[in-house]
Structures are given as structure tokens and as C-alpha cells.
Amino acid sequence: MKLHTLFGALTLASSVIAKTEYVTRYHYVTVDGNGEVIASNIVLSGAAQATNGARILGSDKKEKSSEATTLTTIRTSSASLMEFKTDDESVVSVSEPTVEATSQIRSEATVNVSTTKSDSGIYSEISSSGVDASFAKAILDAHNTKRKAHSAPNLSWSSTLFSYAQNYADSYACGASLVHSGGKYGENLASGYSSGVAALEAWYSEGNNYDYSAANVFDHFTQVIWKSTTALGCAYKSCGGGLYVICSYDPAGNFGGEGPQNLSAN
């Protein structure tokens, strides 16, 4: 039996009054009978609550001061070396993750980048999904603008993903910690932002100085521009002065060993 180790990283949480708090985040990885890594999830445990409203946490890197909280999922489908950034910008390598949580097994067929749909096609499920159309179009367009800069194809709005995201958003208790749904989709979370697009801008800002030659560090940014992801569904819940935002991605991105073919600088 192979011996596996549990990796935990401290990530920085910043509030609007620059109060610094720390939370522990664990990367739970599933391996098969041969010891090959097949999937991974992040579980946020014992998250510290930032004061005075908004905060940032769970980005795998040190964040600039902001008015919101963000959280992402990292998954992996191979036993290749994985690297994660800690709060002091150091990079920790993990090669033998633990068997802790089950997760959707990656289908290798999803690695191939699909053909880009026409502009009209990417919006076709917005009207039937029951979503706030202006919110949906704005956050979908913002995603696709970012993706175009990295040679990633357009995402299409998915009513299925929206329903999944909205159900989870409806269950969120305003002010609570950000915790992933644990489903089969890729997922980015945020709270405290004024709009879905503002949350996306925070996720995307994590890509500053990204090392595309290695492409083995994953965060919100990498899920946003992941080439083999083809569908998007986002939802929100109003929480006082800001929004709780969840975006679901299908197929999920952030798989170890698949970064080079899915992440491009331009």
C-alpha cells in the first residue's frame, strides 16, 4: 500500500480595513488502486471570518486588498508534481497526495478544445434558464473577453450549470465562509463584490505574472481561461452591500498535468 501525505497551506485573507486573518485550506486528492492521482478537491476548514464585511481568501496566492472573498477548486488527473503557492509567495511541491475525498473522475476526452460557437449560440440558453439576463450576458461576455486574450474558445451559457449554481447560491447564509459545493463542475466563488463582472475581475487578477512555461499552479484565473472548458453558468445572491457569486464550469478545469495544453499567455 502506498503511503500518502496530506498537504495544507495557509492562505491570506484581507478585509477592507486591511485586517489580516489566516485560514487553513487542504488539498484532498483521490488516487486509484495503482497510486495514480485521478482527482482532487479543496476543502476549506475552519475559515476565519473577516471583520467589517468583505474579505479575500482561498486564492492560492497573496491577494491585494479588495472588497470581497474568493474561493476556487483545484483538481488533478495525473500523478505529476503539483505546486501550490502559500501566503508568503513560496511554492510548495506535492508529489504523493493523500486519499481523503472522492471527486468526479476526469474524462480524457474533455482535454480536446471544442469548436467555438457563434455569438448567438453562446447566449441561446439564457432566456430559457430563468436567470437575470443582464447579469448572465455581462458575466459571460466578460469571461469570453478574458479567454480570447489567451486563445481560449468562447464559453456558452448553460441552463443546467445555472440551475446548479443558483440552487447552491440560494443555500448560502450571507456572511458565512466560502465552501465549495463538492459537485462535478469546476467552481469559482466570491462574496462582497458589487457585480458578477467585478468578481470575475478579481479572479482574473490572480494571473498577473503567471508562469505559463510550467503551467502547474492553479487558481481562479486558470479556471477562467482553461481552454477545454466549454460551458458556464453563474448565479448570485444579494447579501447586504454586495453579492455572493458562484460560477460553475463544464468540463472542469485546473487538472494537474493538463496545464500546458490549456493555458496560454496569448
- The stretch 164-192 carries a mean pLDDT of 97
pLDDT at 79: 36
Residues 6+ apart with CB under 8 A from 211: 217
Same structural domain for residues 42 and 117?
Answer: no
Structure confidence at residue 251 as a pLDDT band (50, 70, 90):
very high
Last residue within a domain, chosen from 94, 118, 134:
94
Q: Which tens digits make up the pLDDT trace of 69-107? A: 666 555 544 333 444 443 344 444 433 222 222 223 343
Residues 6+ apart with CB under 8 A from 79: 31, 35, 36, 37, 95
pLDDT at 15: 20
| Interatomic CA distance for residues 15 and 55, integer angstroms | 4
Same structural domain for residues 124 and 230?
Answer: yes
How far is C-alpha 236 from the chain's CA centre? Answer: 15
Q: Is residue 126 part of a domain?
A: yes
Q: Is residue 104 part of a domain?
A: no
For the chain, the domain total comes to 2
Give yes or no for a contact between 12 and 87, defined as CB atoms under 8 angstroms apart: yes
What residue type is assigned to position 256 of the chain? G
Residues paired with 21 in a beta bridge: 13
Q: Cell for 200?
A: 470575475
The CATH number that applies at residue 228 is 3.40.33.10
Range of the domain at 120: 110-262
In 3D, which of 60, 6, 1, 55 has the Cα closest to residue 30?
6
Last residue within a domain, chosen from 25, 59, 94:
94
Phi, psi of 56 (to 5 degrees): -125, 135
Same structural domain for residues 34 and 123?
Answer: no
